[in-house]
Structure 1
Amino acid sequence: MGATTMFGSAVVTMDGLTNPALAATTSRTKPATSVIVLISLRGAADGLSLVVPHAEAAYYAGRPGIAVPATSLLAADATFGLHPGLAPLLPLWTAGKLAAVHATGLPVANRSHFSAMEEIEDADPGSSARVGWLNRMIGAVGSSSNLKGLAVGSGMPSSFLGPEPVMSFRTLETANVAGDDASHERIRALRAVWTGSKSPVADAFRTALDSVVDLTPATEQPNHAAAYPTSDLGKALSAVARTLRADLGVSAVTVDSGNWDMHVGLGKPDAGWMLRNATDLASSIAAFFDDLGPVADKVTLVTLSEFGRRVQQNGTSGLDHGWGNVMFLAGAGVKGGKYYGTWPGLQNTLDADVQVTTDYRSVLAEVVAARTTASTATVFPGFSPETVGVMTSL
């Protein structure tokens, strides 16, 4: 599958229809003034491993086989320190471009992967409308670009569902299909068929045909994929960097990272699943900001996971579903080199969670308010965000 453009409930796949490069209208792809890149840590990452509360005796008592020793932590202060696998991010931390907010999450615990992620990505509790917070945001920004929203990966996340057109592709190469004279003829024929049609899906097809985006400038950007990990995340962020350097008007991007569902065999700090994931995440983000060049000055990256893990390790050297978690923020506008949030402390009991003291929407709302012209009341309906203090304004 290649490029897909989504309009409300209608999804039109471009492969086999037309070449995006041939149907382009460059006048409608204006550079964005700021870009929010959301990395979803799918499977519920363990925030207590990524940002370790080393001052908590309960952390070490509850995790005799998997706890990260205080002596191995990076960028440690009196309370927290980073997992050693996050070493590639230290230059961003030292430069004041990377921060962490601990004890974040949903206001009420939800330990179902699918349900929790949908709730987080809708960010509109109680609403029956299937509209995600990023779709509301790009609609409120008011850009005239055809490519305001971009999902790089295997599908369209709930955060982008809604009336605003967004695009999804696995790779730039599959999104930008090779074209020939036959492609021109197909697009002309399709326009003729759907112009004036009264079919219920006619509006969606007309909008799709008018909104196909020229990705040629992105494919023509220097490809620095060799500087990234060979993981799906590394490949995706490499494609995102090329797209953003092409200034096609993108203001919001989503990328998935996973699997973080470590019920079994999380591993020790110097080997295993958590170390591999943390190293891949950090190496991919570090390469991404290096690859962006001057464009990095307008890009803010946020990581988010559906929930965290319990304090105690289970009987299979893993961790079961919990509640509170950590969010990372990097790039433009971030007041970095610091840990944020109100720390609730830990308990070493079987069902102990990290308690949520900062609603995740407060963190996202601060990013939206600082980096876009969108109203946070529109993006997060009915929610009154608290001040986190992690962002500076444009």
Structure 2
Amino acid sequence: MKHDCNGDHHQSDLSRREFVGASALAGAALITAPAWLPRTSFARSLAGGPRDVLVQVYLRGAADGLTIVPPYGDPQYYLRRPTLSIPQPGQANGAIALPGSTLFGLAPSAAPLLTPFQAGKLLVVHATGLVDPSRSHFDAQKYMELGTTSAFASQTTTGWIGRHLATSTPLGNGLLRGMSMTDGLPTSLVGAPATLPIKDPDGFDLLGQANTKTARRARLTNMYAGEPAPLGPAATSTFGTIDLLNAVNFTGYVPANGAVYPNSTFGNQLKWTATMIKANLGLEVVTIDIGGWDLHAQLGPLTGTMATKTDDLSRAIQAFYLDLSLTHLDQVTLVVMSEFGRRAGENASSGCDHGHGNCMLVMGGHIVGGQVLANWPGLATNQLDNGDLAITIDHRDILAEIVLNRLGNTNLGTVFPNYTPTLRGITA
């Protein structure tokens, strides 16, 4: 079994230096972007099917789903984690029992997730993940983002989201269909048309001094004006994307419905995402990475690193839900996933090593939430997969139903090749 211990690194080789080449896929049209809310509202649906904006949050490093959503009703959980478990509901620092379940709760640091859960808009999926046996961060992230397993990875050169976008009709004019808020394009977006890595959409512009920007822009425009594809269209679409994002008032954005985003990188990223969704830019996919979950030592489920990271994750998702719930949640599906979970038992360093099964979070206006979807295998020795939580729901089942029913794409055999998904009834 292969392991590696640097879980925050996996992206494709696309970097900002290759930005112009990547943006050749973005299309050649320039548009006039909205000053805040749209003057032109793009169509939100294909003929016969809905179209959500997909927001994928990837917890790189293997987040511990047994802490985020502890199985407090399984006695083996406490036997395997005598010092790192979340106490029973009703005890000090105890789990928050999820309505409708006598098995699962939320860690105290995940309490903000109760808001969308109780509203029926947040679904928890447990004992899920990548069915491939790899415990290597690099390999597991690669296979998951390719939408396949090790058996077929060599035959797959594009990401599952990339194939989705490549086989679906653009919303709006298709200038900017996908965005990763990362330095480089993640594997899941490889092959995606009109998709760029834009770490900070509020600051996306030509580099250099502000007082020379107009002149530099004019020179670049003239330089590429007569160039054939891919350079000419790449430059045109890049300038169009800059104009599109610069016309959005990110700084002046006021979240709705009392939402308060945490003052953190992830909080800002979700706030920017909400801003762009409300501006109706035609954006179809946003991917966000959160690193730092590879906690082999000092897990800190109640007061340490795990608790701090889970709190930030949960408060940002709660704010995103509140912000969109009155007007735009019906147009959004958010998915939180990680390459694998942590071991069922704790180690001698007060941490947990690489595991297998994990939890996923799915939120949206048309998600059948307020429940935990799980075929719980148990944590007894004979129920584990090489000492880890077994996987009973392939993560592709969850993603495929979203692609089909919320993204309006029937090409599941292309998006997830060599796999026939089982639809679990998670969408309404």
- Same fold by TM (over 0.5)? yes
CA deviations on 1:176-235 (whole Å, 9 max, x unpaired) are: 44684314422332223524xxxxxxx332231232321134335743489322222112
From 67, 78, 81, the counterpart of 2:85: 67
Is the contact between residue 368 and residue 427 of structure 2 (CA under 8 Å) also seen in structure 1?
Answer: yes
Give 1:277-296 correspondences, 5 Å limit: 277-292=309-324, 294-296=327-329
The code of the aligned residue for 1:384 comes to T
Q: Mark the CA change 1:12 to 1:93 in structure 2 (over 3 Å): closer, same or farther.
A: same
Q: Secondary structure at the match of 1:219?
A: coil
1:86 Cα offset (Å)? 1.1
Q: Secondary structure at the match of 2:340?
A: coil
The code of the aligned residue for 1:66 comes to L
From 86, 90, 93, the counterpart of 2:110: 86
The equivalent of 2:62 in structure 1 is: 44
Q: Structure 1 stretch 253-262 or stretch 173-182: which is displaced more?
A: 173-182
The equivalent of 1:140 in structure 2 is: 167
The code of the aligned residue for 2:84 comes to I
CA–CA distance in structure 2, aligned partners of residues 345 and 64 of structure 1: 17
Q: Mark the CA change 1:352 to 1:35 in structure 2 (over 3 Å): closer, same or farther.
A: same
CA–CA distance in structure 1, aligned partners of residues 175 and 42 of structure 2: 9
CA–CA distance in structure 2, aligned partners of residues 139 and 347 of structure 1: 44
1:252 Cα offset (Å)? 0.9
CA–CA distance in structure 1, aligned partners of residues 106 and 421 of structure 2: 27
The equivalent of 2:141 in structure 1 is: 117
CA–CA distance in structure 2, aligned partners of residues 163 and 229 of structure 1: 31
The code of the aligned residue for 1:96 comes to G
Q: Mark the CA change 1:155 to 1:10 in structure 2 (over 3 Å): closer, same or farther.
A: closer
The equivalent of 2:183 in structure 1 is: 154
1:383 Cα offset (Å)? 1.1
Superposition TM-score, scaled by structure 2 size: 0.80
The equivalent of 1:219 in structure 2 is: 249
Residue 386 (1) aligns with residue 422 (2)? yes
Give 1:268-279 correspondences, 5 Å limit: 268-269=301-302, 271-279=303-311
Give 1:167-186 correspondences, 5 Å limit: 167-177=196-206, 180-186=213-219
Is the contact between residue 31 and residue 248 of structure 1 (CA under 8 Å) also seen in structure 2?
Answer: no
CA deviations on 1:225-275 (whole Å, 9 max, x unpaired) are: 893222221121121111111111111110012211110001142x11111
The equivalent of 2:74 in structure 1 is: 56
The code of the aligned residue for 2:188 comes to S
Is the contact between residue 228 and residue 283 of structure 1 (CA under 8 Å) also seen in structure 2?
Answer: yes
Which structure 1 segments of 5+ residues have no match? 1-5, 196-202
The code of the aligned residue for 2:261 comes to Y
Q: Mark the CA change 1:131 to 1:43 in structure 2 (over 3 Å): closer, same or farther.
A: same
Q: Secondary structure at the match of 1:150?
A: strand
Is the contact between residue 166 and residue 191 of structure 2 (CA under 8 Å) also seen in structure 1?
Answer: no
The code of the aligned residue for 2:160 comes to W
Superposition TM-score, scaled by structure 1 size: 0.87
The equivalent of 2:231 in structure 1 is: 205
Q: Mark the CA change 1:206 to 1:75 in structure 2 (over 3 Å): closer, same or farther.
A: farther
1:12 Cα offset (Å)? 3.8
CA–CA distance in structure 1, aligned partners of residues 214 and 297 of structure 2: 54
CA–CA distance in structure 2, aligned partners of residues 140 and 107 of structure 1: 25
From 24, 30, 54, the counterpart of 1:24: 30
Q: Structure 1 stretch 315-324 or stretch 366-375: which is displaced more?
A: 366-375
Which structure 2 segments of 5+ residues have no match? 1-11, 34-39, 45-50
Q: Structure 1 stretch 243-252 or stretch 204-213: which is displaced more?
A: 204-213
Is the contact between residue 58 and residue 348 of structure 1 (CA under 8 Å) also seen in structure 2?
Answer: no
Is the contact between residue 137 and residue 339 of structure 2 (CA under 8 Å) also seen in structure 1?
Answer: yes
Q: Which runs of 4+ in 1 moved over 6 A?
A: 6-11
The code of the aligned residue for 2:422 comes to E
The code of the aligned residue for 1:207 comes to P
CA deviations on 1:353-382 (whole Å, 9 max, x unpaired) are: 110111110010011111022122221112
The code of the aligned residue for 2:57 comes to I
1:7 Cα offset (Å)? 12
CA–CA distance in structure 2, aligned partners of residues 189 and 29 of structure 1: 31
The equivalent of 1:239 in structure 2 is: 272
Is the contact between residue 334 and residue 391 of structure 1 (CA under 8 Å) also seen in structure 2?
Answer: yes
1:141 Cα offset (Å)? 1.9
Q: How many pairs were matched up?
A: 374
CA–CA distance in structure 1, aligned partners of residues 380 and 248 of structure 2: 50
The equivalent of 1:100 in structure 2 is: 124
CA–CA distance in structure 1, aligned partners of residues 58 and 217 of structure 2: 38
Cα root mean square deviation, aligned: 2.9
Percent of counterpart pairs with the same letter?
36
CA–CA distance in structure 2, aligned partners of residues 138 and 379 of structure 1: 9
From 45, 48, 52, the counterpart of 1:34: 52
The code of the aligned residue for 1:258 comes to G
The code of the aligned residue for 1:46 comes to D
CA–CA distance in structure 2, aligned partners of residues 220 and 315 of structure 1: 46
Is the contact between residue 311 and residue 348 of structure 1 (CA under 8 Å) also seen in structure 2?
Answer: no
